[in-house]
Structure formats: C-alpha cells, structure tokens
Structure 1
Amino acid sequence: MENHYEALGLGHRQFDGSLSGQDIKQAYRKALLEHHPDKAQTGDTSRTVDSITVAYKTLSEPEAKVEYDRDLRLQHARNKGDDKIFHTGLDIVDLDDLDHDEQTGVWWRSCRCGQERGFVITEDELENESRYGELITGCKGCSLWLKVLFGIEEDEEQNFNTAG
C-alpha cells in the first residue's frame, strides 16, 4: 500500500508539522495532473487517480490525518521483520526535557547524530496527539526516534506540560 504523502508527492514532508491544508490541496492538484491518464506526459502509471484521491481525502480531513500520521509514525518505528514495536533508536522523554523556542512556538531537542534541532515538535502536533498524551517523531538528520510524553493543562491558554 502506497504512503499517502508519497501519492501526493509530499514524501519528503510526511513528518513536517508545518504542512498546511493549502500545501496538501496544491500537491493533490499537481499529482492529478501528472498522473491523470489523459494528461500524463511521462506515461508513468504508478499512481492512479483513485489512490491520489484517497490520499487527499485522508490528509485533508484533520482527524483522519492525525490517525494516519500516528499509524505512519508507529509503522516507521517498527523493526523490519520483527514484531517489536520500537527499535533501539527510540528515546522516551517528557516534553519538559525539550527546549522551547518562544518566538516560533516549537519544542526541540538536539540529536546524538549531531543535528542541532534534530527533533522538532509544533504546538499543532501536540494538539493533534493530545488524546494520547504522547507523540513519536523522527530526527531530521538520521533514523533515530523520540517518544515525547506530555499532559495538557486546561486553562485559558491551553499550555502543554509533561504528565507526571
């Protein structure tokens, strides 16, 4: 089964928290033009209009996208050919263990691979995963993963704090 992000030509942005609905819609239109049987110039039939449409419907509907992203993160965190859910490259931390950039509103942590802001988490990502109290994100520079545990404090500003 093809990854929905790849179906829309967004494979490089599948863990990008800044991907907007407009970005998804533009990618959908472009993918339809590139792969429509009457319009395709390359003869590439690897993607069908149906698979592109399913990908768009899933990624453009916020709740469906949250579920899909969660499943995708878990799938990527699995060992190949092993039933263990997480490989040894997964660290588990609390949100308070990450640095918070007040100007951009993102939480970040450097990775042991040397990437200064290898793990970056946006407020939107935390809101999307709020019912689970955890978020799994990959490093931007290598194959390591970070599982971030957090709780939500309900108040006027809805601040994110660690559970525990």
Structure 2
Amino acid sequence: MPTHQPDHYTILGLDDQRANAALGAQTIKHAYKKALLRHHPDKAVEFPAKTTRPSIDDIALAYKTLSDPVLRAAYDRTLNPTFTRPAQSDNKATLTGLEEVDLDDLDFDVDRGVWSRSCRCGQRRGFVVAEAELEKHVELGELVTGCRGCSLWLKVLFAVQTDGSVG
C-alpha cells in the first residue's frame, strides 16, 4: 500500500498557518516541541493507512525549514511553484501579506528581460516576474508571485497592449 509523507506544515501541525506570513518563531518552536511528543515512537497513536508516522529527523527538518525565513520561502515555493488564482474573488483572505501593484511599479531589467521589486523583508530583488509567466496569466491580467526571501506575496496587475506587448 502506498504511503504519503506529509509536508512540513502538516508534520508540525501548522496546516492552518500555511499562508500566514507572520507565523512567528515562538509558534513554530511550540509546534515543533508538540510534534516531537505527538510523534514519539513509544506513543500508541494510530495513523491513517495512507500516512506514515514522521520520524524525529522529519520533524527536525520541518522545524529547521519553517523557522528560517529564507528556507521557508523556498520551501513554500516548492509546495506551490505556480500560483493559480483561487475560486473566490478575495485573494487577501487566502494569502496573508498580499500586496497588489501594477506591472509599471516594478523595475524592468532589459538585459535579463524580467521585472523585479524589493520586498519589505530586505530582499533586494524579492519579487521577480518573467515575461513567460505573464503570458501564462494573460487572460486574467494578473499574476501572484511569492518573495524569494520570505513568505510574502505580490499580485501584479497587467494588460496586453494592442501591439502584443505586455504593460
């Protein structure tokens, strides 16, 4: 029977905090200690057939990843590499730390062909958008992207001009 290893948020019991950009170090540390007790090999808690009990190493890795803002941001991107717009119209209810801007508000790097913007976490080019990403979302006229240095999000609004260029 196949097994499914839960992600770091599930391992630490933080599923409801997944999109919380303000998830604090104390909350993560408390969840880590609680997970160590909950998943201790000597405990008789039964797990559903499709899941396995996380090892101490899995719990430690989850804690290390989620407690470091840079590692957490990278991990969050692996969980959701291309954000698709939720069915509901209010993305702010889904993503904590979501800021809405126009594409013109981003700096364009002619050499690389990408738009970028610094993030309040201090990452100089925290948000980077390539033209190929914009093309994938041309029907919506918006793209949501995550910061490379933290777990904040940026919604970029744009329009395709009559000459076919993005603006």
Q: Normalised by the size of structure 2, how large is the TM-score?
A: 0.51
Do the aligned residues in 2 keep the contact of 1:17 with 1:122 (CA within 8 Å)? Answer: no
Change (3 A) 1:128 1:33: farther
Change (3 A) 1:72 1:131: farther
> How many Å apart are 1:126 and its aligned residue?
5.0
Do the aligned residues in 2 keep the contact of 1:9 with 1:27 (CA within 8 Å)? Answer: yes
Q: Amino acid of the residue matched to residue 127 of structure 2?
A: G
Match of 2:88 in 1: 113
> How many Å apart are 1:127 and its aligned residue?
2.4
Match of 2:20 in 1: 16
Q: Amino acid of the residue matched to residue 18 of structure 1?
A: A
Change (3 A) 1:115 1:25: same
Distance in 2 between residues matched to 1:131 and 1:67, nearest whole Å: 14
Change (3 A) 1:49 1:149: closer
Answering whether residue 150 of structure 2 is matched by residue 147 of structure 1, we say: no
Answering whether residue 61 of structure 2 is matched by residue 54 of structure 1, we say: yes
Distance in 2 between residues matched to 1:32 and 1:7, nearest whole Å: 10
Query: What is the total number of aligned residue pairs between the two structures?
Result: 110
Distance in 1 between residues matched to 2:19 and 2:91, nearest whole Å: 17
Change (3 A) 1:20 1:29: same
Change (3 A) 1:30 1:120: closer
Distance in 2 between residues matched to 1:129 and 1:15, nearest whole Å: 19
Structure possessing the higher radius of gyration over alpha carbons: 2
> How many Å apart are 1:115 and its aligned residue?
4.2
Match of 1:73 in 2: 80
Change (3 A) 1:134 1:13: farther
Report % sequence identity: 35
Match of 1:26 in 2: 30
Do the aligned residues in 1 keep the contact of 2:20 with 2:96 (CA within 8 Å)? Answer: no
Task: Compute the RMSD of aligned alpha carbons.
Answer: 3.7
Gapped runs of 5+ residues in structure 1?
78-85, 91-110, 136-144, 151-159
Distance in 2 between residues matched to 1:128 and 1:4, nearest whole Å: 25
Gapped runs of 5+ residues in structure 2?
100-118, 130-141, 148-153, 157-166
Distance in 2 between residues matched to 1:149 and 1:42, nearest whole Å: 37
Answering whether residue 45 of structure 2 is matched by residue 42 of structure 1, we say: yes
Q: Amino acid of the residue matched to residue 46 of structure 1?
A: R
The structure whose RCO (Cα within 8 Å, separation 6+) is larger is 2
